[in-house]
Structure 1
């Protein structure tokens, strides 16, 4: 029987000191195995320093091109690092990979994108090309699976607290299929009025820390029928290609 491997990846490492602290807590005391670094954000250097000192934490690049938020029934750009054209996007991805190397001292073990914009073009083609050059996987690309069902808001930013309970996380673990699956998560210590607190996703991050560190969740993964891992672990086992 093919084993069930699980990567629990915390996005937005490097966004703020509070988010860094929440990710560290969920790694040291919880079930987080991996994180994705935002190299252009204010707390990136501190996040990279932690990753260098703790190589057991898997670390990928959270490619950060722009962020959109819902407003008046539409999505608008909150910020934008680069124009939408293919050449600019590709150049920015290369620049962020180089910044990752400078901060961490090695290549990322996978690539993903802020707000999953690699599901759209021209970003998707540029991300896949960069991943091929690095020899690393892209989030959600077969044979890997990505599940975003652990999340505390709806698709339009409304609160969805039942999405980040221990019961929800246990349900997702129990339903895992054979092979390698990544659960995305967004732990952090964030005040409701923090202007850099993950933008539209703020206080939910505090709840995620508690859930990811919940004793029932830790005990479930200790049962042995699911293998907690990083992208690098899965690659060494020949499961990422």
Structure 2
């Protein structure tokens, strides 16, 4: 494939009101092509209402088994899953805790509960991925979900340069054997620090995004990011609020749209991959 095809995906739809505001604005403006929804989160009802009002939006299921913030929590939809809850009924904070303690059958059952809830509420998901990589240690279950619901998986065929050791070549081979579509590459903005370890600025975020676009390889690439408005709500949830605001602003910057056009990049959606998989 010689074309440069790009999916621009905003993660964490439903996480909080500030995130919903940012993602819905970018979708309304056509600055991005898709989003991933977190069904167990407190503001998912607002996100679902927005999707139902805009059924053309491209929405994947961001399967969630972790609740990472100190003072803002959520837990499993299936309240019978004891290995996925702490003493307060919330998900563990870290992926490592999930991998060490969670029963794989319970991981799968909760993932199914989240997908089924989305379907009941009128969402037609276009893909599957997992928040913070909470199911990456059980790739066979991820592929089973994709096969059951006939959905592509956000997992790159090629290893990410920053995380080559974590790439599962066997998962890629099994997905291809099962007819499950994957993107060639997955990229993300440097969410926590620059390559030099310095605190991110808007200018650094923009420069990194421009570099990602200019270095985009032929094939299908997903670029994921975490936009939010920098409201008091978000500031109370996470100390990454400045970076999330940068990631909202940068996709509204005219230079980014110009770069996409100048580099000959064609924007696509996960829905197109899902429909190809279902043929």
Structure 1 length normalisation: TM-score?
0.82
Evaluate the alpha carbon distance shift between residue 193 and residue 17 of structure 1 in structure 2; reply closer, same or farther with a 3 A threshold: closer
C-alpha distance in structure 2 between counterparts of 1:118 and 1:196, whole Å: 28
SS at match of 2:188: coil
The CA RMSD measured in Å over matched residues stands at 3.1
CA distance in 1, matches of 2:53, 2:263: 28
Aligned to 2:21: 21
Match of 2:267 among 224, 228, 237: 228
Q: How far apart are 1:234 and its partner, in Å?
A: 3.2
* Residue in structure 2 matched with residue 11 of structure 1 by the alignment: 11
Higher relative contact order (CA 8 A, sep 6+): 1
Distance in 2 between residues matched to 1:8 and 1:80, nearest whole Å: 28
Give unpaired runs (5+ residues) of structure 2: 71-85, 93-97, 158-181
- Within the candidate set 202, 206, 212, 2:251 is matched to 212
User: Is 1:112 the equivalent of 2:129?
Assistant: yes
Aligned to 2:242: 203
CA distances 1:182-229 after superposition (whole Å, capped 9, x unpaired): 0111001133674763x4532211111110110011122234711111
SS at match of 2:36: strand
Q: Is the 8 A contact 1:139 1:146 kept in 2?
A: no
Structure showing the higher strand proportion among its residues: 1
Contact 1:192 1:203 in 2 (8 A): no
Rg larger in 1 or in 2?
A: 2
Match of 1:165 in 2: 205
Whether the 8 Å CA contact 1:7–1:228 is kept in 2: the answer is yes
1:57 and 1:230 in contact (8 A); partners too: no
1:145 aligns with 2:162: no
Greater percentage in helix: 2
Q: TM (normalized to structure 2)?
A: 0.72
Aligned length: 229
Unaligned runs of 5+ in 1: 71-76
